[in-house]
Structure formats: structure tokens, C-alpha cells
């Protein structure tokens, strides 16, 4: 315990040392005086022979210390003192950094929630996702699709890389019985699904090997959430029969609450997956709906599995040529798959947030440089007293670290607020709402924040640290503070920093501007419909009683008739797909009289099965020909409507009315052709989509659908009409569940919500970036003016007018601005373009970007002007007498 | 200002000389310097201050111990004394040094190669 004793007795040790050295000098002096020197001479001589007293003392003390740690704590104490002494500097730097860090932490919490969580299955690293892939397309998730049942069965048999291959298919179920009928999302899975993934149920059992046989498949596993919500966590539900789509299913298990694989809200129940016989026809290889996972055999890797999948896909293509043309297969780790689902959007936001942080760092670096000028004397004195360069750099970095940690702490606070905001924004949409739910500030996020803070400290601390300590000792001490302040190198560095900052901010602004432009373009483009005073309600006929297509049509016919009869209803219709809704349906088609093509080579069009009054209810204009009539029944010749985009693309130089087309709405080619009887207006599919795409309509009486959305145009507030609508539908069938009725305006708002949140985020970041950059320019200019007070005084004494001084200072700011804008533009154009192209390939043409670039440049220029004008005004207030009296 | 290399012939040399000097008699700092200078016939240029860090190192290693007392010139001084451990250490160091010196001498000896 020697070291402990030393630690506590150190103060005495140090005292002894000083006294001893003092006595040493005294003794020497006395001896010299005794030898005949004057006392003064003797003192000098003694000191000369002894050497540097302070250094000797310090060296002697060092013997007793753990130098690095103790110096570090000393640096920390000293740094904290320096910050306390400059509260303004400390506040500005800490807040600046906090903003940059908060931006990154907020986005990272989303990344962490969505992309980095491990799936709760056994050994997820050995599980791969198998997809149908298009090798011709770039990555980022655009290039892949689920797997068809046909391919799944073939690949499961033929592959050698896997212990097991399992599939899941999402399906909506209507859960009826006690209480209101309810639609729940279910997943039909292979019998060995849970066994292969190594997932245990909390209660009961998983599926048995033969439960994927038709007839034995009426068993269900409930999610913990559904069990709690619908069954009050009653364990007696086990073995009970529940009604799903009108059929009885026996409850065999309850899933453990923490089970999760993907990102989106998981299914609420699981039932065995049984393939209908038609899915084994080669023609159905195009129906890709299975999410396939496989567990690697020992010895197999993701790479070998991928190679094998490519071979298997080739074999399938050779066996059934043309059935899945252009598509291959691939395998990827589950983590990789999940990350890709969010990939581009999140990476873009991460990048933008990083820009904000970079600007913040540059800002702080330049502030530190400015302050470094004031501290130059301090550093010179310390050098003179024997401090090494490394020691000074370290001191400087420790101070940066203190700022960084304080900024990180504050940033974390700001981020928790940002996460709240973002979560609220995301909750608007169902499909990204689950991202919001996963966003929290957990320990991973905190470690990230700490890491970013430390990294930032190095970023903004190193340049000033090196700069401050690189000084000529002599000149600094000799010339006093003013001479140094004009050190060219420092000014150059500062100018470079400010220029960089302006360039970064410009890139941000342009990126945000481009986003906002795209958004506004979509808002202003119109949707092709009149969405005001329209109520919609999605109805899914999944009860067993509606298997027959004539029954489906009859249900909707009666519902529409009842609605039309209600007072306050202007028109009522139904459509199989609601434009701007959650999804669109695309089918391939052929035109009569043109060369026959295989399915993959045929043209594609959006597809809607509608009732005649749907067009009127949604305000879609009939351009030519006629609308569907109630006489277009299943017994009459098939008819179709197409939109103008369809005509433009496929009948550019001929009259489309009277032509016949065949829409591939089922797995098999139909024998009958539908005659085009009319052309209707274009309707946008989704908010994001800018271009109009071909659309085709068929009457629901001829092409029935079990899922349709009722569309009702009302004379008054559509939202208030919802209960009436429900009653009307239940009048037809009291067991029919109805999803939340929404006004068309709400549907449109949801469709644009994702893009709006992205816009708000990027806009906020750009605004922060601009503000930080303006502060940076301001600080540098203000500092420069303060340093040049003397010079300005002389100029004014020699007759310079205030306007000359103003111009001189502002000019410097604008020169910096111009250089920054130049480099920012060079950086922005390709960067912004590249990133956006990855997010969406339906963008405004590049030549329409001009205004955005101009506006961004103008904003930055204005910010630079303002930021240098204020200090310039101050410069003109310099009183020559006072300035010169400084001497 | 002299550089460290001039002060210290090689690492540990100063410590060795201090230990050797203290072996003859306990001394305080100033006397120690004078003694070493005198013994070396002023051939070794020792900066007086450099003695103290070396003494602290020896104290820490417990090769010497120190006590405050009154000197012959009636001055409050801190007298350093060799410990048993110090004596042993000195022996080791000296024999090591002699070996090294012998080696160097042989290499430097003229005409025998």
C-alpha cells in the first residue's frame, strides 16, 4: 500500500521539496558571498548553476505521480475553469454542438429502432431471407420481390445450403364471435416455421408437421397483444374455437410477447399456410407473395447460399421458360434485409443530420480559433515555463472534450424532445407509424451520442489546438497581443472554415429546397379527383358465405343502393382499389390484334373494378365515350374504361374506343376480350407519384372483388356521415366488419404524410444549418472587426468615411460568402441529385431545379450579408480617438 | 541552458553516483552536489537542480531515506541516508556498470584487433 501512503503524504512531500531547494540556494549564496561576491551577484550565480527551479520542482514532483492521469484531471479542472470564465463562449459552443448532436441522435434513434434491433429468433446470424431478385436493378431494396409458392416449393426441395426453408404469407382475417367483428392481420406460415426459427410460444404449442395439410389446418396461434385485447389474457382460451373468416379455428397457442422479426407491426395471429392447387401451375410463378426465410446448414455461408439460389433460379427458368423472365433469386442476411427496407430514406436523413453536425463543428472550431488569439499569450507563457507542445495540444483537446460532453448531454435532452415530435409526425401513417413506435433513446442511442460527441471534439478541437500551439515564442511575448492577432495563418484557416461552413449549409439548403419543391409540386399538381365531401370505407368480404363472386357483387350492389337512397348522399360508388390509398393494383394486359406476348413482356396498367357511380362520387371526369351502366352485367359483353394516360401510351394515333383489351386479373389468361367504351380523366396513384400512369377500369359486376372501398359523396360534412354509412352496411350483413371510415381528404393526407415528415425533417435540418452558418460568419466577422479596431481608427483618422469602412468589412464577408457558394454549388448539384435518384425515380426534370438553386444561393448570400453587416455597423461606430488611445 | 544529454551521461549514472557518495556518509542535497563535483575533479558538469528529481526517484524506490536536521553550519537541512536496499542496488549497478565499461574499453583499446 506504499502508493496509497504516497498519495496522501504528497502535499508534505512537495512542501519538503520546495523548502529543500530554497535551502540549497541559500546555502550556495552564502558560500559565494563568503567567497567575496556581492549578494546580488551571488544570487544570480547560484540560480544559474542550479538551473530552472520551477522545472526542477516539477520534474521532481512528477516522480511521485501517475503523470498522464493526473495531468488529465488537471487539464479537466483547468478547462472547466476556462469555460466558467467565458460563459458566453461556453454557452454558444455548447448550444451549437447540442443542436448538431440532437439532430443526429434523433435520426439515429429511428435507425436504431428499425434497422439495428436483432430479430428475436434463435441465432439470427444463421438465418437468411430468400427473395426473387432482379440482378439488372440497383440495390436499396428496389431489386427484390417475395417468392412465389411455385418457386418456394421447388427451391425448398432442391437447395442444399439450408437446414430448413420456411414461408409466411400475410393475410387479413375477420375475427368474429363475441363483440364486434374485427379485421386482424394474420400470417399464414409453413408448419415448421416456428420450429426452424427457434421461437417458443408462451402458452400451448406451435404447429405440428402435418397441420399444413388441408383439413388439418384449422388451428391458430394468437399474438400476446390479441390475446390480451380480445380474450382478456384468459388461459382457458386454449383449445377453444374462434371464428376466422366465418370458419372455426382451434386456438393452440399464444406467442411470447417479445417475439419480433421485422420492423412493421407484426401479425396478430398465425395459421398454417396451405397452397391452393393452382399455385403449382408454372404460370403462377409471377404471383410472388411469400416471405421466405431459411436457416443455414453448418458449413454454409450467406455467400454460398446466394450462389446456390442463383443456380436454382436458373434451373427453374430453364424448366419453365418465360414464366418469370428476368428474375433470379438471392439470399441475404436477415439484418441486411431489414436495413435495406428503410435504407435510402434513413441514410439520407442521417447524411443531412451529419451535415448539420459538421457545420456545428466548423463553427466551434472557428470560434475557438478566434478565442485562441486572445489566449495566445497564455500559451506562450506556458511554453516559456517549459510546457511541451504535446502538453498544450492535449490541454486544448481536453477543453474541447468538455464542450463536447456538455453539448452531448444537452443534445440528448433536445433529442428526446425531437424523438417525441418525430414519433407524433410518423404516427399519422400506418406503414411508417411502426417506425415511430420503435424510436426510443435507449443505451445504444446514448453510446452513439457519446461517440459522436467525442468524435466531434476531435473534429472541432484539433485544428485550433494545433494552431494555437504553433507559435513563435519570441514574437508572441515580445510583440504583445495585437501583432499576433493579425497572424496570417490564423486568418487563412478561419476563412477556410467559414467558407466550408457556407458550402455545407448551401448543400443542405439545396437538398431541402429540392425536397420541398418535389413536395409542393405534388400538392399543386392536383390528383385528378375532387376529394372534398367524400367519405370512404373499406370493406373486406372474407366471410365464408361470400366465396362466390356473384354473392360479392350482390353485397356491394345492395350496399350502394341503400347508401344512394339515404338523404344527404349525392352519389355512392365502390372501387376495388382506392387511389391514394395504401396500395395500388397493377396488372398486365394485351390488346386485340397486336402480336401476342408472354406475360412478362406485356404492357402494365393500374387496375380498378368499379361501380358505375364511382367516377361521379370521386369526381373523375368522363372525357369520351360512355360510362359503365347498370346494364353492363355479368351476362353482357365485357366492357372497360381507360384513362388518358393509357390512350397516350398505347393508342397514340388511333381512336381507342371500340378497341378490345384483355386484362390479366387472374393467374390464367381469360378467353374473352373487353371492349373499351370510354376514356376517363387521369388520377394519381399515390402522393409520391408525379406522373400519370395508364389506368383501366372494369365494372365490378363483370369482375367482382371481395375487397372494395365504398366511396360516398355527401351534401354535408362527410365525417359526420360515418355512423350512417355503417348502419347502412350492417343493414345488408350485420356480421360484416368495416374498417375505419375516412374522408378522402384524410386518405390523401396520409398518402403524403411520409413525404411531409421527410420534408419537415430535412427542412428543419437545413434551417438549423443556415442559422449555424450565419452565426459562424457573424462570429468571424465580429472578431475580425474587434481585432481591427486600431486599424479602423487610423483609417478614420486619415479621412476614411463611415461608408468606406462599412464597405470594407461587408466586402470581406461577401467574398467569403462567394467562395463558399461556389464550392457549395460544385458539391451540391451532383450530391443532391444522386441521393434523390435513389429515393425516388419519379422526379421533376433537372432543368426545373433552377429556382431552388437560385433561392438557396440567395438565402445564403443574404445570411452572409446580414452576418457581416452587423459587425460592419459596429466598425463604423469606432471612435478614432478611443481606438488610437489603446496604444 | 544545458541539454539533458549533457547532464546525464547515461540513464542511471547520476543515481549511481548519488548512491555511492551517500554510501560513504549521509549528506544533504547541497553537500551532495559539492561532494560529487569535488570527487569528479569538476570533470562532470552537473546542473545542481538535476540532483533533486534523481533524489526523489531514489526516495520513491526506497533506496535512500531522508530526515530533516540541523547542519554543521546551523542550517535546517534534509539529510539523505543509504538504505540496505539502496546498498544492494548500488552493488548491482556498479558491477553492471563495470562490465559495461570493460566492454567499451576493450572495443576502444587500440591496436588489438
Q: For residues A361 and A305, state if they share a domain.
A: no
CB contact under 8 A, B1 and A62: no
CB contact under 8 A, B77 and A23: yes
A63 touches chain B (CB under 8 A): yes
The bridge status of strand A241-244 relative to strand A162-176 is antiparallel
Q: Tell which of A272, A297, A326 closes a domain.
A: A326
Give chain A positions within 8 Å (CB) of B55. Answer: 60
Give chain A positions within 8 Å (CB) of B53. Answer: 56, 59-60, 62-63
Q: For residues A372 and A293, state if they share a domain.
A: no
How far apart, in Å, are the Cα atoms of B26 and each of A668, A733, B66, B69, B80? 110, 112, 9, 12, 5
Distance CA B18, CA B22 (A): 6
Q: For chain B, what percent of residues have pLDDT higher than 90?
A: 1
CB contact under 8 A, A60 and B56: yes
Domains of chain B: 4-108 (1.10.10.10)
pLDDT band at A692 (very low <50, low <70, confident <90, very high): confident
What is the pTM for the complete model shown? Answer: 0.70
Higher pLDDT, A887 or B33: B33
What residue in A sits closest to B67 (Cα-Cα)?
A16
Q: For chain A, what percent of residues have pLDDT higher than 90?
A: 18
- Examine residue A98 and state whether it is found in any structural domain, yes or no: no
User: For position A436, what pLDDT does the model report?
Assistant: 64
Give chain A positions within 8 Å (CB) of B33. Answer: 24
A26, A27, A50 member nearest B49 (Cβ): A50
The angle at the Cα of A433, spanning A432 to A437, to the nearest 5 degrees, equals 120
Give chain A positions within 8 Å (CB) of B56. Answer: 17, 60-61, 63-64
Q: Which of A266, A142, A267, A125 is nearest to A197 (CA)?
A: A125
Least confident of A56-60, A262-266, A290-294, A656-660: A262-266
What residue in A sits closest to B49 (Cα-Cα)?
A50
Q: For residues A718 and A627, state if they share a domain.
A: yes
Distance CA A749, CA A735 (A): 30
Q: For residues A701 and A557, state if they share a domain.
A: yes
Q: For residues A445 and A322, state if they share a domain.
A: no
ipTM greater than 0.90: no
CB contact under 8 A, A51 and B30: no
- Examine residue A27 and state whether it is found in any structural domain, yes or no: yes
Q: For residues A521 and A566, state if they share a domain.
A: no
B76 touches chain A (CB under 8 A): yes
A796-826 per-position pLDDT tens digit: 888 888 888 888 888 888 888 888 888 888 8
Highest mean pLDDT among A96-110, A376-390, A506-520: A96-110
- Examine residue A303 and state whether it is found in any structural domain, yes or no: yes
B53 touches chain A (CB under 8 A): yes
B91–chain A nearest CA distance, Å: 23
A47 touches chain B (CB under 8 A): no
Q: Averaged over A421-430, what is the pLDDT? A: 70
User: For position A835, what pLDDT does the model report?
Assistant: 56
Q: For residues A704 and A769, state if they share a domain.
A: no
C-alpha cell at A857: 444561393
Q: For residues A373 and A479, state if they share a domain.
A: yes
B111 touches chain A (CB under 8 A): no
Residue A430 above 70 pLDDT?
no
Give chain B positions within 8 Å (CB) of A17. Answer: 52, 56
B33, B53, B59 member nearest A56 (Cβ): B53
A64 touches chain B (CB under 8 A): yes
C-alpha cell at A546: 361470400
Distance CA A810, CA A509 (A): 23
B4 touches chain A (CB under 8 A): no
Q: For residues A761 and A726, state if they share a domain.
A: no
Give chain A positions within 8 Å (CB) of B79. Answer: none
- Examine residue A91 and state whether it is found in any structural domain, yes or no: no
Residue A839 above 70 pLDDT?
no
Give chain A positions within 8 Å (CB) of B66. Answer: 16
CB contact under 8 A, B60 and A50: no
B2 touches chain A (CB under 8 A): yes
- Examine residue A123 and state whether it is found in any structural domain, yes or no: no
What residue in B sits closest to A24 (Cα-Cα)?
B30
Q: For residues A168 and A141, state if they share a domain.
A: yes
Q: For residues A390 and A521, state if they share a domain.
A: yes
Q: For residues A570 and A706, state if they share a domain.
A: yes
User: For position A442, what pLDDT does the model report?
Assistant: 84
Q: Which of A222, A195, A207, A215 is nearest to A272 (CA)?
A: A207
Distance CA A730, CA A738 (A): 9
Q: Which domain holds residue A246?
A: 135-326
Contacts of B86 (CB under 8 A, 6+ apart): B19, B22, B58, B62, B63, B64
Number of domains comprising chain A: 4
Residue A347 above 80 pLDDT?
no
Amino acid at each position: 500500500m506504499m502508493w496509497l501512503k504516497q498519495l496522501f503524504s504528497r502535499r508534505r512531500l512537495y512542501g519538503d521539496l520546495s523548502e529543500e531547494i530554497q535551502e540549497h540556494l541559500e546555502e550556495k549564496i552564502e558560500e559565494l558571498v563568503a567567497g567575496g561576491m556581492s549578494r546580488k551577484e551571488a544570487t544570480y550565480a547560484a540560480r544559474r548553476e542550479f538551473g530552472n527551479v520551477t522545472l526542477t520542482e516539477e520534474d521532481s514532483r512528477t516522480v511521485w505521480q501517475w503523470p498522464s492521469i493526473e495531468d488529465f484531471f488537471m487539464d479537466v479542472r483547468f478547462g472547466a475553469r476556462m469555460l466558467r470564465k467565458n460563459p458566453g463562449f461556453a454557452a454558444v459552443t455548447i448550444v451549437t454542438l447540442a443542436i448538431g448532436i440532437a439532430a443526429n441522435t434523433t435520426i439515429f434513434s429511428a435507425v436504431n429502432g428499425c434497422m439495428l434491433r436483432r430479430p428475436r429468433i434463435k441465432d439470427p446470424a444463421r438465418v437468411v431471407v430468400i427473395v426473387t431478385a432482379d440482378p439488372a436493378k440497383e440495390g436499396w431494396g428496389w431489386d427484390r420481390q417475395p417468392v412465389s409458392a411455385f418457386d418456394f416449393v421447388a427451391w425448398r426441395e432442391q437447395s442444399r445450403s439450408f437446414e430448413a426453408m420456411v414461408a409466411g404469407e400475410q393475410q387479413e382475417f375477420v375475427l368474429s364471435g363475441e363483440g364486434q367483428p374485427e379485421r386482424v392481420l394474420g400470417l399464414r406460415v409453413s408448419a415448421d416455421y416456428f420450429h426452424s426459427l427457434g421461437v417458443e410460444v408462451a402458452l400451448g404449442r406451435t404447429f405440428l408437421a402435418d397441420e399444413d395439410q388441408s383439413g388439418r389446418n384449422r388451428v391458430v396461434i394468437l399474438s400476446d397483444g390479441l390475446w390480451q385485447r380480445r380474450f382478456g389474457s384468459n388461459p382457458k382460451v386454449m383449445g377453444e374455437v374462434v371464428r376466422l373468416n366465418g370458419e372455426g379455428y382451434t386456438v393452440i397457442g399464444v406467442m411470447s410477447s417479445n417475439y419480433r422479426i421485422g420492423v412493421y407491426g407484426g401479425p396478430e395471429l398465425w395459421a398454417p399456410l396451405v397452397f391452393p392447387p393452382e399455385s403449382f401451375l408454372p404460370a403462377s410463378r409471377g404471383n410472388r407473395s411469400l416471405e421466405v426465410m431459411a436457416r443455414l446448414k453448418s458449413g454454409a455461408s450467406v455467400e454460398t447460399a446466394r450462389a446456390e439460389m442463383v443456380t436454382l433460379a436458373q434451373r427453374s427458368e430453364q424448366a419453365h421458360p418465360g414464366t418469370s423472365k428476368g428474375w433470379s433469386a438471392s439470399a441475404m442476411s436477415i439484418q441486411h434485409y431489414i436495413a435495406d427496407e428503410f435504407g435510402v430514406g434513413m441514410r439520407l436523413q442521417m447524411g443531412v443530420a451529419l451535415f448539420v453536425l459538421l457545420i456545428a463543428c466548423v463553427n466551434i472550431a472557428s470560434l475557438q480559433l478566434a478565442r485562441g488569439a486572445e489566449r495566445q499569450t497564455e500559451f506562450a507563457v506556458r511554453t516559456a515555463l517549459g510546457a511541451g507542445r504535446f502538453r498544450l495540444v492535449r490541454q486544448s483537446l481536453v477543453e474541447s472534450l468538455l464542450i463536447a460532453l456538455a453539448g452531448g448531454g444537452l443534445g440528448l435532452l433536445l433529442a428526446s424532445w425531437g424523438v417525441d415530435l418525430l414519433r407524433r409526425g410518423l404516427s399519422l401513417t400506418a406503414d411508417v407509424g411502426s417506425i415511430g413506435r420503435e424510436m426510443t433513446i435507449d443505451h445504444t442511442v446514448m453510446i452513439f451520442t457519446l461517440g459522436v460527441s467525442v468524435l466531434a471534439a476531435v473534429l472541432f478541437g484539433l485544428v485550433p489546438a494545433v494552431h494555437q500551439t504553433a507559435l513563435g515564442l519570441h514574437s508572441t511575448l515580445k510583440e504583445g497581443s495585437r501583432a499576433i492577432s493579425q497572424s496570417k495563418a490564423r486568418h487563412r484557416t478561419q476563412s477556410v472554415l467559414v467558407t466550408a461552413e457556407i458550402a455545407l449549409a448551401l448543400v443542405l439548403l439545396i437538398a431541402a429546397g429540392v425536397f420541398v419543391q418535389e413536395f409542393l409540386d405534388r400538392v399543386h399538381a392536383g390528383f385528378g379527383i375532387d376529394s372534398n365531401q367524400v367519405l370512404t370505407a373499406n370493406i373486406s368480404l372474407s366471410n365464408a358465405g361470400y366465396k362466390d363472386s356473384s354473392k360479392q357483387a350482390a353485397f356491394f350492389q345492395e350496399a350502394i343502393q341503400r347508401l344512394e337512397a339515404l338523404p344527404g348522399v349525392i352519389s355512392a360508388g365502390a372501387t376495388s382499389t382506392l387511389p391514394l390509398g395504401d396500395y395500388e393494383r397493377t396488372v398486365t394486359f394485351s390488346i386485340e390484334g397486336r402480336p401476342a406476348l408472354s406475360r412478362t413482356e406485356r404492357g402494365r396498367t393500374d387496375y380498378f373494378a368499379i361501380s358505375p357511380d364511382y367516377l361521379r362520387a370521386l369526381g373523375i371526369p368522363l372525357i369520351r365515350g360512355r360510362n359503365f351502366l347498370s346494364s353492363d352485367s355479368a351476362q353482357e359483353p365485357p366492357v372497360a374504361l381507360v384513362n388518358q394516360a393509357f390512350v397516350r401510351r398505347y393508342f397514340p394515333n388511333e381512336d381507342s374506343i371500340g378497341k378490345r383489351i384483355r386484362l390479366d386479373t387472374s393467374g390464367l389468361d381469360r378467353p374473352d376480350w373487353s371492349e373499351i367504351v370510354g376514356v376517363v380523366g387521369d388520377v394519381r396513384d399515390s402522393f409520391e407519384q408525379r406522373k400519370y400512369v395508364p389506368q383501366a377500369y372494369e365494372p365490378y359486376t363483370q369482375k367482382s372483388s371481395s375487397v372494395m372501398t365504398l366511396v360516398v359523396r355527401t351534401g354535408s360534412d362527410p365525417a359526420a356521415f360515418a355512423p350512417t354509412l355503417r348502419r347502412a352496411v350492417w343493414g345488408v350483413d350485420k356480421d360484416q366488419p368495416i374498417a375505419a371510415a375516412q374522408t378522402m381528404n384524410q386518405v390523401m393526407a396520409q398518402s403524403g404524410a411520409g413525404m411531409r415528415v421527410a420534408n419537415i425533417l430535412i427542412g428543419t435540418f437545413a434551417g438549423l444549418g443556415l442559422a449555424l452558418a450565419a452565426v459562424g460568419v457573424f462570429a468571424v466577422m465580429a472578431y475580425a472587426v474587434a481585432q481591427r479596431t486600431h486599424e479602423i481608427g487610423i483609417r478614420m483618422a486619415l479621412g476614411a468615411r463611415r461608408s468606406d469602412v462599412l464597405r470594407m468589412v461587408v466586402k470581406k464577408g461577401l467574398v467569403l460568402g462567394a467562395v463558399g457558394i461556389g464550392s457549395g454549388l460544385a458539391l451540391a448539384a451532383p450530391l443532391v441529385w444522386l441521393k434523390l435518384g435513389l429515393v425516388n425515380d419519379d422526379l421533376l426534370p433537372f432543368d426545373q431545379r433552377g429556382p431552388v438553386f437560385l433561392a438557396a444561393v440567395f438565402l445564403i448570400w443574404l445570411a452572409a450579408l446580414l452576418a457581416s453587416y452587423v459587425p460592419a455597423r459596429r466598425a463604423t461606430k469606432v471612435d478614432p480617438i478611443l481606438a488610437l488611445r489603446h496604444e | 541552458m544545458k541539454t539533458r544529454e549533457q547532464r546525464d551521461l547515461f540513464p542511471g549514472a547520476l543515481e549511481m553516483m548519488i548512491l555511492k557518495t551517500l554510501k560513504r556518509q549521509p549528506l544533504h542535497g547541497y553537500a551532495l552536489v559539492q561532494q560529487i563535483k569535488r570527487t569528479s575533479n569538476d570533470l562532470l558538469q552537473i546542473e545542481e537542480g538535476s540532483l533533486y528529481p534523481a533524489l526523489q526517484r531514489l526516495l520513491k524506490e526506497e533506496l535512500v531515506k531522508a530526515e530533516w536536521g540541523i547542519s554543521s553550519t546551523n542550517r535546517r537541512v534534509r539529510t539523505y541516508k543509504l538504505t540496505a536496499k539502496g546498498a544492494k542496488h548500488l552493488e548491482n549497478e556498479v558491477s553492471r556498470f563495470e562490465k559495461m565499461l570493460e566492454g567499451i574499453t576493450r572495443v576502444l583499446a587500440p591496436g588489438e584487433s
